[in-house]
Chains A and B, each alone.
Chain A
Amino acid sequence: MPVGLTILLLFQLIGEILAYATHGAVPGPVIGMALIFLCLFLFKGQDRLKAFETHTLSASRLLLANLGVLFVPAGVGIVQHLDMVADRGPQLIATILLSTLATLLVTVSTFLLTKRLMGARKDG
């Protein structure tokens, strides 16, 4: 676990350095995610990578199984905006609800439609 967490932090650190160097177009942790994937992918099947894989796997399982709690401190930040929520509550909630609904529907239907079209082409 400590090894795995250290590896994850190291990749985040490299990601943050690259994000700083590229003026933050892509956030550091997202770059770190891409880099750790690339590392695993490029050195696939090498013996030395086995330990790396096992350690990062156990740390990532622990973090991803408890992902929800990590958003709680930021979520409590809404306490600073209660006046704005009270002022424009119904419109704000309508905006969030309708656009989230539209995004879910468009994303899931384009995903399934493209998959079906590709399947049809493969079969035909």
Chain B
Amino acid sequence: MADGFTRGLWVYLAASPLLWLTVTLMVWLLALRIAALSPRNPLLNPVLLSVAILVALLLASGIRYDSYFAGAQFIHFLLGPATVALGIPLYEKLALVKANLVPMLVALVAGCLTAVGSTLLLCHVFGFPPVITASLAPKSTTAAVAMAISAGLHGDPALTAAVVILTGITGAIIVTPLMNALRIRDYSARGFAVGLASHGIGTARAYAVDPIAGLFSGLAMGLNAILTALVVHLFF
């Protein structure tokens, strides 16, 4: 009887996006709490924690990713307007951006070529098949762009999406200890580097550290998306 009720309720809830939308937001709030316990520890990254908790929940409950995404897509959808929103701090801090325009453009070209070139080199060293190499090549760009580039190179866009997220989390975790160890205090340079290497997840990290870092990170993310799409063909 109770079993029938549970199964009925499960079927009822699974048919609506409410459950996984709510669970995703609750897990995010929990991850923020955990990250706040030790704000100086970059390993306690809220994106990493949330993904780990939700993957464990899906595996434990046997829920397919498609059913999960049917609910979570409402959060995913806001990535579009959030990208548009990056144009506003750019306008607000225009003088600062103008003062750094040349360093930005030089770093953009050098960083973009390093991101794609070093990935291809490592793929070659490890003997990855061409489909994996093509899927990894655009991994520093924001997910939507990376998936489009990967498809154009006959990669696997779904694999690209996963690798893009891992690259974002990796950069977000290592950037603060790395820059502090190198004693780099220029937040425009730090932000630009993390946005170029780790797109939006790096930008989320940059905004959490410093608003100027966030601004330059957002700029690097947008510029690198454009440049990578244009230059990736030079490597293939």
Between A and B, 22 residue pairs with Cβ closer than 8 Å are A26-B229, A27-B145, A34-B222, A57-B88, A63-B78, A64-B214, A69-B25, A71-B79, A71-B165, A74-B165, A75-B47, A78-B165, A79-B58, A91-B126, A95-B123, A98-B122, A100-B167, A100-B198, A105-B193, A107-B193, A108-B184, A111-B186
| Complexed CA–CA distance, A107 and B68 (Å) | 37
| Complexed CA–CA distance, A32 and B81 (Å) | 9
Bitwise, A86-124 to B at CB < 8 A (1) or not (0) is 001001101111111111111110111011001000000
Shortest beta-carbon contacts, A-B, top 4: A107-B111, A60-B85, A73-B72, A29-B83
| Complexed CA–CA distance, A74 and B75 (Å) | 10
| Complexed CA–CA distance, A79 and B79 (Å) | 20
| Complexed CA–CA distance, A101 and B119 (Å) | 11
Please tell me if A51 contacts chain B, counting CB pairs below 8 Å. Answer: no
| A115 cross-chain contacts in B, Cβ below 8 A | 100, 103, 186, 189
Known: A33-B84, A100-B197. A26 touches B123 (CB 8 A): no
Please tell me if A72 contacts chain B, counting CB pairs below 8 Å. Answer: yes
Bitwise, A1-38 to B at CB < 8 A (1) or not (0) is 00001001101100100000000111111101111110
Please tell me if B201 contacts chain A, counting CB pairs below 8 Å. Answer: yes
Binding site for B on A (CB under 8 A): 5, 8-9, 11-12, 15, 24-30, 32-37, 40-41, 56-57, 59-60, 63-65, 67-81, 84-85, 88, 91-92, 94-108, 110-112, 114-115, 118
Please tell me if B96 contacts chain A, counting CB pairs below 8 Å. Answer: no
Highest count of chain B CB atoms <10 Å: which of A77, A88, A94, A107: A107
| Complexed CA–CA distance, A76 and B75 (Å) | 12
Bitwise, B41-85 to A at CB < 8 A (1) or not (0) is 000001100110011001100000100110011011011111111
Please tell me if B14 contacts chain A, counting CB pairs below 8 Å. Answer: no
| Complexed CA–CA distance, A68 and B68 (Å) | 18
Residue from A72, A97, A106 within 8 A of B51 (CB atoms): A72
Residue from B72, B111, B136, B214 within 8 A of A106 (CB atoms): B111
Main SS of the interface on chain A?
A: helix
| B230 cross-chain contacts in A, Cβ below 8 A | 25
| B168 cross-chain contacts in A, Cβ below 8 A | 71
Chain B residue with Cβ nearest A14? B84
Chain A residue with Cβ nearest B133? A95
Does A76 lie within 8 Å of B163, measured CB to CB?
no
Please tell me if B86 contacts chain A, counting CB pairs below 8 Å. Answer: yes
Within the complex, what minimum Cβ distance (angstroms) separates A41 from chain B?
A: 6
Give the interface size class of chain B: 35 or more
Within the complex, what minimum Cβ distance (angstroms) separates B224 from chain A?
A: 9
Does B158 lie within 8 Å of A67, measured CB to CB?
no
Highest count of chain A CB atoms <10 Å: which of B55, B115, B162: B162
Does B110 lie within 8 Å of A64, measured CB to CB?
no
Does B186 lie within 8 Å of A112, measured CB to CB?
yes
Does A67 lie within 8 Å of B171, measured CB to CB?
no
Chain A residue with Cβ nearest B85? A60
Within the complex, what minimum Cβ distance (angstroms) separates B174 from chain A?
A: 7
| B85 cross-chain contacts in A, Cβ below 8 A | 8, 33, 56, 59-60, 63-64
Q: A41-B91, A91-B128 are known contacts; what are 10 more A-B pairs with Cβ within 8 Å?
A: A5-B81, A33-B87, A68-B46, A72-B28, A80-B65, A80-B158, A92-B163, A104-B193, A108-B107, A111-B193
